[in-house]
Amino acid sequence: MQSVDNAAEQIEFDRRIVEEQKIEPSDWMPEDYRKNLIRQMSQHAHSEVIGMQPEGNWITRAPSLRRKAVLLSKVQDEAGHGLYLYSATESLGVSRSELIEALQTGVAKYASIFNYPTLTWADVGAIGWLVDGAAIVNQISLQRTSYGPYARAMIRICKEESFHQRQGYEIMYELAHGSPEQKAMAQDAMNRNWWPALMMFGPHDSDSAHSGRSMQWKIKRVSNDDLRQKFIDQTVPQIEVLGLEMPDPEIKWNEEKGQYDSGEINWEEFYQVINGSGPCNYQRLKHHKKAHQDGEWVREAVRAYSEKQQTKKENVA
């Protein structure tokens, strides 16, 4: 509830939301809008950064110099996405160290897909194709999100994501058209990553705790289930081009609806992984904490340098 003092600001805020105007950092905004944005944007930033781990695992083992170079730049892009998103989140009045603390203590979440292991080279293909593919579907809708810095970050990120999706599909295409062993590897990686990729869109709309409010505020523009359906409809024809078996036997074209029907997600698995019991949750956070600690000297150097500059300025004055 907003206090009476803010009634005028609230009316102005609502008008701008209705008129599709962006809300900027210096604008008044309801406290719940700010909180909801911090939750969603930081979760997004954490996902970009934690998402570097499963793929980073394959940089030195990628099968050729070309594949190494491509994967290296892809993983580096994800660090950049994390950077834009942390900066955009900081514009809401929360510090980077608070956000990192929330991640490392398990208060903040990240996409559950990154708690699954990357067992073979084909996983790198499946991740680029399916996970970045799913991310694009979500992020395209977020280019129209109501908070200006978030919307602008999404525009740049989407351009890079489409390169990520293509490099993944290229890996899958080559494996699927390679030796029987390579084709089997592609099939296995797709089967394992398919369901976690669908889970990326979050719970059904009817079970989603934050969806209604976020849609009202235009933080979210399209519902979880609609985004998931869009992803399925665009990905099934790609599976056909690969010549692989469908990862879900219930996938079937529904002429009447003009979309694909598909099987039900294992929601118990989703909640287990989201709540910390996935195959790699512990390992991902442990690695993040170690990398963060190892970087302490950099943060210390930055602090010392800015203090020195400040003293110099004061002496001149």
Does 81 sit near Fe ion (CB under 5 A)? yes
- Cα(142)–Cα(11) distance, rounded to whole angstroms? 24
Rounded least distance, CB 107 to Fe ion, Å = 22
Q: Which of 129, 38, 131, 109 is nearest to 284 (CA)?
A: 109
Rounded least distance, CB 154 to Fe ion, Å = 10
How big is the site for Fe ion, counted in residues (CB under 5 A)? 6
Q: Which of 200, 210, 211 is nearest to 273 (CA)?
A: 200
Rounded least distance, CB 109 to Fe ion, Å = 16
Tokens linked to 161:
């994501």
Q: Which is nearer to Fe ion, 29 or 52 (CB)?
A: 52
Does 192 sit near Fe ion (CB under 5 A)? no
Rounded least distance, CB 163 to Fe ion, Å = 8
DSSP 254: E
Rounded least distance, CB 197 to Fe ion, Å = 13
Does 55 sit near Fe ion (CB under 5 A)? no
Q: Which is nearer to Fe ion, 262 or 288 (CB)?
A: 288
Angstrom CA distances, 303 to 160, 297, 298, stand at: 32, 10, 9
Please choose, out of 48-56, 107-115, 208-216, 240-248, the segment that lies near Fe ion by the rule CB under 5 A.
48-56
Concatenated DSSP letters for 194-251? Answer: HHHHHHTT-S-GGG-TTHHHHHHTTSS-S-HHHHHHHHHHHHHHHHHHHTPPPSSTT-
Q: Which is nearer to Fe ion, 78 or 248 (CB)?
A: 78
Rounded least distance, CB 6 to Fe ion, Å = 36
**Can you tell me which of 132, 133, 147, 203 binds Fe ion, judged by CB under 5 A?**
132
Does 164 sit near Fe ion (CB under 5 A)? yes
Residue 112 contacts residue 175 (beta carbons within 8 Å)? no
Does 67 sit near Fe ion (CB under 5 A)? no
**CA dihedral sign of residues 283, 287, 288, 290:** positive
Binding residues for Fe ion (CB under 5 A): 48, 78, 81, 132, 161, 164
